[in-house]
């Protein structure tokens, strides 16, 4: 069992220099009621992920690679339309920041996440970070699939 400790922030588009390469992600949610069940395709690989309820900025997470054909079939069972985004990674102060630039129905939204070893761990805040949205449920990917950013 893994524990995900993650903080989430909005990105200031004017201050962020987008890297040249990113990875296209398509992910869909099969269940979301206390636990989240997600299927993700990241270019040539596919994963199934189960996440427990969030407490603070921590939650249990289980992720396993699955065959691409299975992932494509599971996508058809999604509760809502899939999320499509380009994920960029940037190392700052020895930590990897994952920056998601959403497209399609969530276009215009850019969110950065950092995974920590503990909820109290300190880290360097990049200049392109605007505000923390860790506890704002609207910014979870599962919520964005049901209530897209463009509809706010």
Catalytic residues: 29
CA 41, 46, 48, 49 dihedral sign is: negative
| Burial of 64 per CB tally in 10 Å (0-12, 13-18, 19+) | exposed
Find all residues with CB under 8 Å of 120, minimum gap 6, and list them. none
How many Cα atoms sit within 13 Å of 84 on the Cβ side?
Answer: 7
The residue written with tokens 């994952």 in the block is 98
């Amino acid at each position: 069992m893994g524990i995900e400790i993650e903080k989430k922030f909005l990105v200031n588009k004017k201050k962020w220099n987008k890297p040249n390469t990113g990875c296209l992600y398509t992910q869909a949610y099969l269940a979301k009621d206390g636990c989240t069940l997600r299927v993700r395709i990241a270019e040539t690989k596919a994963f199934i992920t189960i996440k427990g309820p969030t407490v603070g900025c921590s939650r249990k997470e289980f992720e396993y690679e699955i065959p691409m054909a299975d992932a494509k079939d599971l996508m058809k069972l999604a509760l809502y339309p899939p999320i499509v985004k380009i994920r960029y990674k940037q190392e700052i102060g020895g930590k990897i920041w994952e920056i998601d630039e959403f497209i399609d129905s969530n276009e215009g939204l850019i969110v950065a996440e950092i995974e920590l070893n503990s909820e109290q761990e300190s880290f360097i805040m990049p200049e392109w970070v605007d505000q923390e949205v860790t506890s704002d449920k609207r910014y979870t990917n599962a919520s964005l699939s049901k209530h897209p950013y463009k509809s706010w």
